[in-house]
A = this chain, B = another copy of it.
Amino acid sequence: MAKESASAAVTSADVARLAGVSRATVSFVLNDTQAHRVSDTTRARVLAAADQLGYVPHAAARSLRAGRSNLVLMPTSVSAVGRLVSAWLDDLHSELERHGYTTVLHAGRFSDAVGAARAWAELRPAAVVALDGGSLTAEAAGVLRRAGVRAVVGFAARPVEGVYTVAFDHARIGALAAEHLISRGRRRIGVVMPKERGLDTFARPRLAGAESVAARSTSTVNAVEMAYTRQSAAELAARWSELGLDGVFAYNDEYAALLVRALQDEGISVPEDVAVVGCDDLVLAALERPALTTVRLDLPAPARIADALHTLVDTGKAPGMPGMEPVLIHRQSS
C-alpha cells in the first residue's frame, strides 16, 4: 500500500524474503508443484506474503525458463476485420483462454512478409494464427519455425509449405458473386477494390475469382477502386455511366451499402440498372433498401480451431480442419 516509492517490480525473491523462506519454496507453493510437499504453515506464510506484496509472476522469465510460451499471436490490423470476423475473434480468444493460452492481436503492416514474421517471432509465441493467409509465405513460415513457434496457422486458399492451412478461399467468394450476377443476366460486371490498406490481400483473390468465372462466359469483369468514404463513393457513382457496368460485387456489405446509396443519389436504380452483391451477410445487409444480396461466410467453429491449435502446439500434428464454404444469399439488390 504505502510502498509507493518502490518503483522496482516485485519478484518472487521479495516474497521469499518476507515469508522467511527460500525462493524455491515460494515457487513450489505458487505453482502447486505436486512433486514437492511443503508444510501447511509455510504454505500459508508464502501465500500471505505474496498477497501482501501483490506479487504477479513474470511471464517472460517463466517462459524463458520453461522453453515455451503460452502466447498466441494473431497478426491483424483492427480496422481490417469487419463485424463478422471481430465477433468470431472474440469467441476464439475465449476458447484459447480455456486452454491456457494468452491471445494477443498485433496490428503490423503487411508490406514485407519476412519482416513482419521477424517482428512476430521476437515475441516467441507458441502459435501464430494469420487470418490473412497471404502474409504467410513459406519463407516467412520458416522464420517463425526457426524461432521456435510451434504452430503456424494460416487461412488461405491453397496450402503453404510449413503452414497449417485452414481452407479459406477468397477466390471462391468472388466466383460465387460473379456466377450469381451472370445468372441474373448481367454482362458487364464491376468488382470493388477497397483503397484501404490491408484489405487488398482479401480483395485481390476475390477479383481473380470473379475474373476466372467471367472468362468462361461472355461476361467481362472490371476492377473499380473505391475508398470507404462518402466522397469516394460519390465520385465512383458519378462516372458510372461511362463505365457501363450492369452488375457489381462490392467487396463487402458495408462497401455495398455505401455504393448503393451513392448510385441512387446519382439516379441509378438498384437492381434495375445495376445489380449489387455484398459480402459477410451483416445485420445491415438485410435492412438495406433494397435488401442486399450477399455472400455469407460460415467461419469454422472457434472451439474446433482452438482444439486443433492446441494439439498442433503439443504434438506438432493436427487433424484436418473443415474450411469455410461461402454461400450466396439472394435478396432484392440483384
Please tell me the number of chain A residues within 8 Å of chain B, measured between CB atoms: 59
Q: A254 contacts which chain B residues (CB < 8 A)?
A: 284
Docked-complex contact B102 and A105, CB < 8 angstroms: no
Q: A57 contacts which chain B residues (CB < 8 A)?
A: 122
Task: For the complex formed, measure the closest distance between the CB of A285 and the CB atoms of chain B, giving whole angstroms.
Answer: 10
Docked-complex contact B53 and A146, CB < 8 angstroms: yes
Docked-complex contact A124 and B90, CB < 8 angstroms: no
Docked-complex contact A124 and B77, CB < 8 angstroms: no
A93 — nearest CB in chain B belongs to which residue? Answer: B107
Docked-complex contact B102 and A78, CB < 8 angstroms: no
Q: A146 contacts which chain B residues (CB < 8 A)?
A: 3, 6, 9-10, 53-54, 56
| A78-B90 in contact given A230-B283, A261-B287 (Cβ < 8 Å) | yes
Task: For the complex formed, measure the closest distance between the CB of A93 and the CB atoms of chain B, giving whole angstroms.
Answer: 5
Chain A positions 88-124 with a Cβ under 8 Å from a chain B Cβ: 89-90, 93-94, 102-107, 109, 118-119, 121-124
Chain A positions 1-39 with a Cβ under 8 Å from a chain B Cβ: 1, 3, 6-10
Q: A83 contacts which chain B residues (CB < 8 A)?
A: 79
Docked-complex contact B56 and A122, CB < 8 angstroms: yes
Interface residue from B7, B78, B118, B119 paired with A86 (Cβ < 8 Å):
B78
Interface residues of A (CB under 8 A from B): 1, 3, 6-10, 53-54, 56-61, 63-64, 69, 77-79, 81, 83, 86-87, 89-90, 93-94, 102-107, 109, 118-119, 121-124, 142-143, 146-148, 228-230, 254, 257-258, 261, 283-284, 286-287, 289
Which 9 residue pairs spanning A and B have beta carbons closest together?
A9-B148, A60-B60, A105-B105, A59-B122, A79-B86, A78-B86, A56-B121, A261-B287, A93-B107
